[in-house]
Amino acid sequence: MKKLNSINFVVFKEDKLYLEDIPISVGINIEDWLKEYCNTPYEFENYSSLYPESERIKFKNYEKGISIYLEDRIIESINVFPRVWENDSRCYQGDIFIFDKKLEVPFLSDDIEKYFPGIQIKPKGYWDRFTAHESVEYPINDNMVIEISMSRLPSLVGSISLKNNVSNL
């Protein structure tokens, strides 16, 4: 069985995210997944003193670019932060594929429809298409969405996340 040793590319495909060729999805137990598929160093981080059951797992060599959020060690969302600036070490440096199409970075918010055909975006006005940190959702199925969130500069996408469709829960 193949194990994850590095993360040079990620693929959003159907209701899974592939780290290299290893699938991971929302709703699974992270400890089981790590035992079965992971050889790369990682760490758990509690990001809220009020909610000790809420954690984030970060892969040590990719800690700024990929975050997996957990609740009681069950995956709630998987976030990938595409490169915004040329030498931005805070973002994922590998290749990102969305439904077999390689993402061009920086990921411009004007290009969302290029990667997510049929996405519903409501126009807001005459100037900027989005506000800072605004999100739009692309439904995968009844239970899953890909959430596209803008960065501080709304012309750029700051994160792409696979998560539960909270409107159907």
Helix (H, G, I), strand (E, B) or coil at 166: helix
47-61, 76-90, 147-161, range with the lowest pLDDT: 76-90
Q: Which amino acid is at 135?
A: S
In the chain, the percentage of residues whose pLDDT exceeds 90 is 67
Does some domain include residue 20?
yes
Average per-residue pLDDT for the chain: 90
- Kindly state whether residue 13 falls inside one of the protein's structural domains: yes
| Radius of gyration of the CA atoms of the chain, in A | 16
* pLDDT higher than 70, residue 98: yes
Cα dihedral sign, 92-31-143-76: negative
End-to-end C-alpha distance for the chain, whole angstroms: 34
What pLDDT sits at residue 129?
85
Domain contains 99: yes
User: Above 70 in pLDDT, residue 63?
Assistant: no
Asked, for residue 48, whether it belongs to a domain, the answer is: yes
Looking at the domain assignment, is residue 116 inside a domain? yes
Does residue 2 form part of some domain? no
- Does residue 140 lie in a domain region? yes
Question: How many whole angstroms separate alpha carbon 136 and alpha carbon 146?
Answer: 8
Number of separate domains in the chain = 1
Residues 161 and 17 sit within 8 Å (Cβ to Cβ):
no
**pLDDT of 116-155, one tens digit each?**
999 989 877 667 789 899 999 999 999 999 999 999 988 9
Q: Is the pLDDT of residue 89 over 90?
A: no
Q: Is residue 3 part of a domain?
A: no
Which tokens hold the place of 150? 């803008």
- Domain span including residue 136: 9-168
Model confidence at 83, pLDDT cuts 50, 70, 90, reads confident
Q: Which of 4-13, 35-44, 59-68, 150-159 has the lowest mean pLDDT?
A: 59-68
Q: Which pLDDT band holds residue 60 (cuts at 50, 70, 90)? A: confident
Is the model more confident about 90 or about 147? 147
> What's the pLDDT score for residue 61?
75
